[in-house]
Structure 1
Amino acid sequence: MESKISILVTCLIFATAFQLLLPLSEASLKVGYYRHHNCYRAESIVKSTVRSFVRKDPGLGAGLIRMFFHDCFVRGCDASVLLDPTPANNQTEKQAIPNNPSLRGFEVIDAAKKELEKECPGVVSCADIIALAARDASFLLGNISYKIPTGRLDGRISNGAEALQFLPPPFFNLTQLEAIFASKGLSAAEMVALSGAHSIGRSHCSSFTSRLYPTIDRTMNQQFGAALRNLCPQNATVDGVVRQDFVTANKLDEQYYKNVESLTALFFSDWSLLTSPATRQQVNTYTKEPEKFKEDFANAMIKMGSIIEVLPGSPGEVRGATCRFVN
């Protein structure tokens, strides 16, 4: 009897220790987390807030999806991308080149946080607000529906240099893209699915003008390149903005992959999806099977949301009245 009790105690100790070693994503995240943590209406509040903004400006929906990606790839999904600069730290992620001035949607997060603080103060993390807002934007713009686990913590550190280090730039080739996604636990197939977010939103000319001047890149449709030259003149004093998809600009759909195949996607990284048989076949599949794209995109968003680098026992919090500053 004593031996059985000893074995049971040992197993419980081992199981507890193993759980403490798990990333927060595996140990704590669950669908419907706030229904059991004193904020039953949390998800509906975020959804109604996102809907009110996106109906007025669909581009904000694109911004929220991109914000989720940019947050999760730097220090995990911890809302570090929301932190404003302070005298002690004037180079946050928000100020870094990949995010400033192109990242949009901060006012949506602010509005959702304000309503949540009225309903259940100090309960819902800003990291979860981003994840839920991206999910709701995906539904509003693409009729893509999925359930995403919640229960994340907010980080207390934001470093602009890390945004440059971990966010893939638009000039990366396929090998570089696969490596940076793999470093975050995402496969090449998931990378291709997530790239579909380039079917919505806008881009600054500076992100792709290297493909236009001095000559139009051979990897770009020449007529498309000529049209882009008119929108993005060489040596312009103002960095112009263009749609990422000129066909279905406000729909999160398979059109992006058609653009990739016809060489009418903006970025070199988009074209690079054609340089491997596997990724090229996946692009082709999505052009013919829109529902397959939606399914894979949803699963990849859920997977990306599990990139958690704030471990149990590490500094992490639920920010209070605002998502722009730590407590």
Structure 2
Amino acid sequence: MFSTNNTYYHSLVATILLVLTFVFPSEGQLSASFYSSTCSNVSSIVRDSVQQALTSDSRIAASLIRLHFHDCFVDGCDGSILLDVDGNITESEKNAAPNENSVRGFDVVDSIKSTIEASCPAVVSCADILALAAEASVSLSGGPSWNVLLGRKDGLTANQAGANTSIPSPFQSLANITSKFSDVGLDTTDLVALSGAHTFGRAQCQFFSQRLLNFNGTGSPDPTLNTTYLGTLQQNCPQNGNGATLNNLDPSTPDTFDNKYFTNLLINQGLLQTDQELFSTDGSSTISIVNNFANNQSAFFEAFAQSMINMGNISPLTGTQGQIRTDCKKVNGS
């Protein structure tokens, strides 16, 4: 009965839907151009701030990307990791086991936020600053660039218990880590690619010392550790030594974002247990991905950029949800 006007009808519906899309944009949609009319220089402000921080702290790039990672894995990318105990925030994620005396870079985030507030007051979220700072940290260290999707709002709560359970631990098995990635919608390629962020930065002895002497109660070191590398690590991290002593995650190019992390895995020089397991777990689907990234840096860079976008899309607050914090450390009005 409607066949004679079917084409016209579908065309009309499509036009109406297109108009509605512009009038009422999807709340769940992040966009690379989100601040183009409200804070067009936000990316350059963040990049300049990260570059300045790098002049006095070679570790800060790795620290800033880790902040974004640890934020997104707990209730999505909402800036909750930045909240101090204050007002209704009775427990901070900063004090969760994976973060306490380990995550850093909060002062740089506060500095970036102050500069942005002076230029574009109450416009840019702290969650978006973390995403932009992560991209700047990677590209300024020799890694890939990507168009950061923006438009996140900041959360009103922190989740210390969630941080204790959701953030992948360097002591867990590959199966457990894979499950934690799957829980937030990330697949095995994302897991391997994002692990490649360990191509720069440092790790404390306490996060891998279990591999050096009495691995899994065997009375021997982790058999997947290169013996020469093992000797070096035992010197850096002696039994009953200082567990906070820092070690390069990549012994060859510790401050450069490249694919050396993966070539290290091929010769059993992954620092953390969770690093080496990507290559040394028999039958794992991660082995072929490690081989690909070790042999093709461009493939790694492309996958890493996409996986960072995927991670940045974990449950963002958008539209009328959340708020734009004027101080990243506390909820507005607290």
Whether TM exceeds 0.5 here: the answer is yes
Residue 301 (structure 1) aligns with: 308
Match of 2:160 in 1: 160
- Residue 128 of structure 1 is matched in structure 2 by 128
**1:221 aligned partner:** 226
Which residue matches 2:325? 319
Unaligned segments of structure 2, at least 5 residues: 3-8, 215-219
Report the residue type matching 2:271 in the other structure.
Answer: L
Structure 2 counterpart SS, 1:56:
coil
Identity over aligned pairs, percent:
38
| 1:50-199 matches, cutoff 5 A | 50-86=50-86, 88-199=88-199
Q: TM-score under structure 1 normalisation?
A: 0.89
**The residue matched to 1:35 in structure 2 has which SS?**
coil
The alpha-carbon deviation at position 90 of structure 1 amounts to: 4.4
1:58: Cα distance to partner?
2.3
8 Å Cα contact 2:206/2:243 also seen in 1: no
Residue 185 of structure 1, CA deviation = 0.9
Cα distance in structure 2, aligned partners of 1:291 and 1:237: 38
For residues 233-285 of structure 1, give each alpha carbon's deviation from its aligned partner in whole angstroms, at most 9, with x where no partner exists. 11225532211111000011111011111111111111211224431111111
Q: Deviations along 1:49-104, whole A, 9 cap, x unmatched?
A: 11111233221000011111111111111100111123654421111121121112
2:192 touches 2:278 (CA, 8 Å); kept in 1?
A: yes
Give the CA deviation at 1:222: 2.1
Q: Distance in 2 between matches of 1:238 and 1:306?
A: 35
1:218 positional shift: 0.8
1:203 maps to 203
**Which residue identity does 1:140 align to in structure 2?**
L
Aligned to 1:257: 262
Q: In terms of mean alpha carbon deviation, does 169-178 or 299-308 score higher?
A: 169-178
RMSD after superposition? 2.4
Equivalent pair of 1:58/1:141 in contact (CA under 8 Å): no
Q: Secondary structure at the match of 2:65?
A: helix
SS of the aligned residue for 2:203 comes to strand
- Give 1:313 deviation, angstroms: 5.1
1:75 touches 1:310 (CA, 8 Å); kept in 2?
Answer: no
Kindly provide the amino acid, as one letter, of the partner of residue 309 in structure 2.
I
C-alpha contact (below 8 Å) 2:89/2:157 kept by paired residues: no
Alpha-carbon spacing, 1:309–1:48, altered in 2? closer, same or farther (3 Å): closer
- CA gap of 1:198–1:318, structure 2 versus 1, over 3 A, is same
What is the alpha-carbon distance in structure 2 between the residues aligned to residue 213 and residue 88 of structure 1?
44
Per-residue displacement from partner, 1:190-222 (whole Å, max 9, x unpaired)?
110111001111111111111112321112112
Shift >4 Å, 4+ stretches: 311-314
Q: Within 2, Cα distance between the matches of 1:39 and 1:88?
A: 30
The one-letter code of the counterpart of 1:318 is: I
Structure 2 residue matching 1:118: 3-state secondary structure: helix
SS at match of 1:239: coil
- SS at structure 2 position matched to 1:123: coil
Q: 1:292 aligns with which of 279, 299, 315?
A: 299
Structure 1 segment 266-277 matched on structure 2, within 5 A:
266-274=271-279, 275=281, 276-277=283-284
**CA distance in structure 2 between the aligned counterparts of 1:138 and 1:237, rounded to whole angstroms:** 30
Find the aligned partners of 2:249 and 2:186 in 1 and give their Cα distance.
24
Q: TM-score, normalised by structure 2?
A: 0.87
Residues 312 and 118 from structure 1, CA distance in 2 versus in 1: closer, same or farther, beyond 3 angstroms?
closer
Q: What secondary structure, in the 3-state scheme, does the structure 2 residue paired with 1:64 have?
A: helix
